[in-house]
Amino acid sequence: MASWTGLRKGGPPPPRHRPACLVQRNENLQGRTPVPASATNAEDPLVPTRHDLDTLSRQLNRPVRDVVEIPARCVCGNPLVAATAPRLGNGIPFPTTFYLTHPVLTAAASRLEAAGLMVEMTGRLAADAELAAAYRRAHEQYIAARTAIGARAGTGPVPEIDGISAGGMPTRVKCLHVLVGHALAAGPGVNPLGDEALAALAPWWTPEVCRCDGAWDQLAPVPRKDLSRHVKHLAQD
């Protein structure tokens, strides 16, 4: 079972990670070639390039859809999180604004879920009023950020998900992928349980080291056919 010892209230704070949206490159690239500078938008690293969109599609093994921004990147420049419009191009509401895409991160978050971290966090929310209040503020920030993303995407209001954030916020934890994606996109100090989950990923991923080599097939054809059961199901409802 994975351990998250020291993450409870009173333990050491989670390690600081790089500010959201900031593209950083350093020597800890695990022997791989950094993403060329031309692959990211030099004027605004938030704005996805064609290379970013192709990388996201390979990471997810499906065509990426309605990506508005890249709010968090690996030290090498590859996307970690995609900010998605609150209404997809086919009209379906999409509440998960900050979608965790990097395969190493998604696999690590799944390990923590299997180890019971979500249950432990939900229990603490019921017992710790201060934590619950901070988590509610994270919920409110998530909704505000989604509204801003929607404005930039030009989607307008999405009443179907009005007041709904993601990941179980504000009263429980039901998806660590959502909380980690939010923590990476918003930066430290916004989502307390997202920060804790991010710190608990340290055995598999840390923000200072690139883990992209071998994480997905970077030479594979870009997926063009969307086989997502989630999208099909929503489209049929």
Whole-number Cα distances in Å, 11 to 4, 14, 82, 93: 10, 9, 31, 39
Q: What is the arithmetic mean of pLDDT over 55-80?
A: 97
Asked if pLDDT for residue 60 goes beyond 50, the answer is: yes
Encoded tokens for 145: 């950020």
More confident site: 2 or 52: 52
Asked whether the beta carbons of 77 and 210 are under 8 A apart, the reply is: no
**Beta partners for 26?**
none
Is 68 in contact with 79 (CB distance < 8 Å)? no
At residue 59 the predicted structure's pLDDT band, cuts being 50, 70 and 90, is very high
Q: In whole angstroms, how far apart are CA 58 and each of 55, 120, 169, 224?
A: 5, 33, 29, 10
Confidence of residue 225 (pLDDT cuts 50, 70, 90): confident
Which of these, 134, 119, 128, lies nearest to 172 by C-alpha position? 119
* pLDDT of res. 22: 39
What mean pLDDT is reported for the chain? 85
CA distance linking residue 168 with residue 146, whole number of Å = 16
Give domain limits for the chain. Answer: 50-215
Cβ 48 vs Cβ 70: under 8 Å:
yes
| Residue 233, both tokens | 């199901």
The percent of residues above 70 in pLDDT, for the chain, comes to 77
Contact 180, 109 (CB under 8 A): yes
Specify the pTM. 0.81
Q: What is the pLDDT of residue 159?
A: 97
The model's pLDDT over 198-224, given as tens digits with 9 standing for 90+, comes to 999 999 999 999 999 999 999 999 998
pLDDT of 45 reads 85
- Which of 29-33, 93-97, 155-159 has the lowest average pLDDT? 29-33
pLDDT of residue 233: 45
Each residue's pLDDT tens digit, 127-144: 999 999 999 999 999 999
Query: Is residue 107's pLDDT more than 80?
Result: yes
Q: How confident is the model at residue 150 (pLDDT cuts 50, 70, 90)?
A: very high
Query: What pLDDT was estimated at residue 226?
Result: 76
| Better pLDDT: 26 or 195 | 195
| Residue with more model confidence, 197 or 26 | 197
State mean pLDDT over 73-81.
97
